[in-house]
């Protein structure tokens, strides 16, 4: 039983944790791995003249390979995994330690302004750094389909020029929960343009195959994939452009975070990313179907993709909605008074985002149908009776 492996969940039966897109809870084997590491071999890495230091160095190398295998790396002999504190730091280091050296005056980059701010501001920062060196880079806005929140690939094709040098994209949208069909970006931009993928909402929630996605960078946060905070990774391969090499002296890595990431990926593999995906997609579809029966609620995002399986854009375990008469932040407080922990605010969306706050329910392997049904009961009680 998966839920039983999450002590924070089982020890609070009166609460329902529905905010896993913000951060995920940790299963016992991850907690055990942290305890084991800190009580048996805690030491610094890469400075070894004694066994604990050597085993920490070996652990880090092992988790690097583990990340590659987990992401179905097409080229593990050539690719690199660089550990960072999370997606925000990871994307920023790609922007400032790699992208700025790839761009010349007059080049253009494509930025997804309705995605998470962490996948918007680093690219603008890179542009600004270059502007101070009198290198002018054009920033084009990734086009979205009005009806769906999915990227608009034909409009994207129209934006491309011979100077398009880089595209930033997101695997699963943190507000709409939609799979952003990243494979279609590669088809549109052709074989030579590097793509950086924000995989914060996909790693740990569904099978991720870098072999299929054909991107150049994939960045994720360990804490959203059941590991400790501060344990993210940048996967890269120097196929298009220079090898990624973070600048400057790299200090002590987050050894215990990396240990937790290895254990989390082992746990996820054991549980089966396909099964986790199936479960969370099913729960989200159940919640969505219930909300659509309740007139005061509007489910935000692609209305064509609200079914459990959609040919338009697969939805994952994230459902975002608003009540016509109750402010989302108030709704968040009301829901917590019934024991539901949800996210209720602007959701850190970039500047082309919703511009209005909403309530987000995000699900993981430990959530249950009963929790969704109880939530729907409370939401029904907040809908005026006709």
Does position 87 bind ligand PLP by CB under 6 A? Answer: yes
Does position 349 bind ligand PLP by CB under 6 A? Answer: no
Closest approach, Cβ 341 to ligand PLP, in A, equals: 15
- Measure the CA–CA gap between 379 and 342, rounded to whole angstroms: 13
The two tokens of residue 339 are: 């024991």
Q: Which region, judged by CB under 6 A, interacts with ligand PLP, from 113-121, 154-162, 257-265, 281-289?
A: 113-121
39 touches 382 (CB < 8 A)? no
- Measure the CA–CA gap between 271 and 205, rounded to whole angstroms: 11
69 touches 76 (CB < 8 A)? yes
Helix-then-strand count for the chain, H and E: 13, 13
- Measure the CA–CA gap between 143 and 363, rounded to whole angstroms: 28
With respect to ligand PLP, which residue has the nearer C-beta, 230 or 262? 230
User: Tokens 């994952």 map to which residue?
Assistant: 316
With respect to ligand PLP, which residue has the nearer C-beta, 122 or 290? 122
Closest approach, Cβ 222 to ligand PLP, in A, equals: 8
- How many residues bind to ligand PLP according to rule CB under 6 A? 14
Does position 215 bind ligand PLP by CB under 6 A? Answer: no
The two tokens of residue 293 are: 């029966």
Q: Which residues pair with 343 in a beta bridge?
A: 360
Closest approach, Cβ 256 to ligand PLP, in A, equals: 17
Q: Which residues pair with 362 in a beta bridge?
A: 19, 318
In degrees, rounded to 5, the angle at the alpha carbon of residue 109 between the alpha carbons of residues 314 and 224 is: 45
Q: Which region, judged by CB under 6 A, interacts with ligand PLP, from 12-20, 46-54, 115-123, 186-194?
A: 115-123
With respect to ligand PLP, which residue has the nearer C-beta, 59 or 233? 233
With respect to ligand PLP, which residue has the nearer C-beta, 86 or 143? 86
What distances in angstroms separate CA 87 from CA 92, 118, 163, 198, one per listed residue? 8, 7, 27, 7
170 touches 115 (CB < 8 A)? yes
Does position 200 bind ligand PLP by CB under 6 A? Answer: yes
Strands (E) in 18-174, as ranges, are 80-84, 108-111, 138-141, 164-170
- Smallest CA-to-CA distance from 260 within 20, 68, 63, 40 is with 63
- Smallest CA-to-CA distance from 295 within 359, 381, 360, 384 is with 384
Q: Which region, judged by CB under 6 A, interacts with ligand PLP, from 144-152, 194-202, 291-299, 368-376?
A: 194-202
Does position 86 bind ligand PLP by CB under 6 A? Answer: yes
**Binding to ligand PLP in span 14-43, by CB under 6 A:** 21-22
Does position 198 bind ligand PLP by CB under 6 A? Answer: yes
The two tokens of residue 30 are: 């991850």
Does position 320 bind ligand PLP by CB under 6 A? Answer: no
- Measure the CA–CA gap between 50 and 142, rounded to whole angstroms: 51
Q: Figure out which of the listed residues 20, 55, 221, 236 binds ligand PLP, where binding follows CB under 6 A.
A: 221
With respect to ligand PLP, which residue has the nearer C-beta, 130 or 226? 226
Does position 118 bind ligand PLP by CB under 6 A? Answer: yes
With respect to ligand PLP, which residue has the nearer C-beta, 79 or 231? 231
Q: Are strands 164-170 and 108-111 parallel, antiparallel or unpaired?
A: parallel
Q: Which region, judged by CB under 6 A, interacts with ligand PLP, from 27-35, 86-94, 235-243, 332-340?
A: 86-94
With respect to ligand PLP, which residue has the nearer C-beta, 87 or 357? 87
With respect to ligand PLP, which residue has the nearer C-beta, 56 or 173? 173
Query: φ, ψ for residue 183 (rounded to 5)?
Result: -55, -30
Does position 286 bind ligand PLP by CB under 6 A? Answer: no
Q: Figure out which of the listed residues 201, 254, 255, 362 binds ligand PLP, where binding follows CB under 6 A.
A: 201
What distances in angstroms separate CA 348 from CA 22, 79, 131, 182, 258, one per listed residue? 11, 31, 26, 21, 26
Closest approach, Cβ 4 to ligand PLP, in A, equals: 27
Q: Which region, judged by CB under 6 A, interacts with ligand PLP, from 1-9, 68-76, 112-120, 268-276?
A: 112-120
**Binding to ligand PLP in span 134-173, by CB under 6 A:** 170
Does position 174 bind ligand PLP by CB under 6 A? Answer: yes
Q: Nearest 10 degrees: CA dihedral of 228, 229, 230, 231?
A: 40
Binding-site ranges for ligand PLP (CB under 6 A): 21-22, 86-88, 116, 118-119, 170, 174, 198, 200-201, 221
């Amino acid at each position: 039983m998966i839920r039983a492996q999450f002590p924070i969940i089982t020890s609070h039966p009166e609460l329902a944790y529905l905010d896993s897109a913000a951060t995920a809870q940790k299963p016992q084997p991850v907690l055990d791995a942290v305890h084991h590491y800190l009580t048996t071999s805690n030491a610094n890495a890469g400075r070894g003249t004694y066994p604990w230091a050597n085993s920490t160095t070996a652990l880090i190398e092992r988790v690097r390979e583990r990340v590659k295998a987990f992401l179905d790396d097409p080229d593990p002999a050539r690719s690199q995994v660089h550990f960072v504190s999370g997606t925000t730091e990871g994307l920023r280091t790609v922007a400032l330690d790699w992208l700025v050296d790839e761009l010349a005056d007059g080049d253009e980059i494509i930025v997804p302004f309705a995605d998470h701010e962490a996948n918007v501001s680093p690219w603008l920062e890179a542009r600004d750094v270059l502007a101070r060196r009198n290198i002018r880079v054009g920033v084009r806005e990734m086009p979205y389909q009005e009806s769906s929140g999915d990227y608009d690939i034909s409009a994207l094709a129209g934006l491309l020029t011979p100077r398009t040098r880089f595209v930033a994209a997101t695997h699963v949208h943190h507000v709409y929960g939609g799979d952003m069909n990243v494979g279609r970006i590669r088809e549109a931009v052709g074989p030579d343009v590097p793509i950086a993928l924000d995989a914060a909402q996909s790693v740990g929630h569904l099978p991720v195959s870098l072999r299929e996605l054909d991107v150049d960078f994939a960045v994720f946060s360990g804490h959203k994939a059941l590991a400790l905070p501060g344990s993210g990774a940048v996967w890269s391969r120097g196929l298009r452009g220079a090898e990624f090499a973070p600048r400057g002296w790299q200090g002590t890595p987050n050894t215990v975070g990396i240990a937790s990431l290895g254990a989390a990926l082992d746990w996820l593999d054991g549980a089966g990313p396909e099964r986790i995906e199936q479960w969370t997609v099913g729960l989200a579809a159940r919640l969505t179907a219930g909300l659509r029966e309740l007139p005061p609620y509007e489910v935000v995002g692609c209305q064509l993709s609200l079914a459990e399986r959609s040919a338009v854009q697969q939805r994952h375990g994230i459902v975002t909605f608003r009540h016509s008469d109750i402010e989302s932040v108030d709704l968040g407080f009301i829901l917590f008074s019934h024991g539901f922990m949800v996210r209720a605010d602007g959701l850190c969306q970039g500047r082309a985002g919703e511009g209005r706050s909403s309530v987000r329910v995000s699900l993981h392997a430990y959530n249950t149908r009963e929790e969704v049904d109880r939530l729907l009961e409370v939401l029904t009680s907040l809908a005026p009776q006709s």
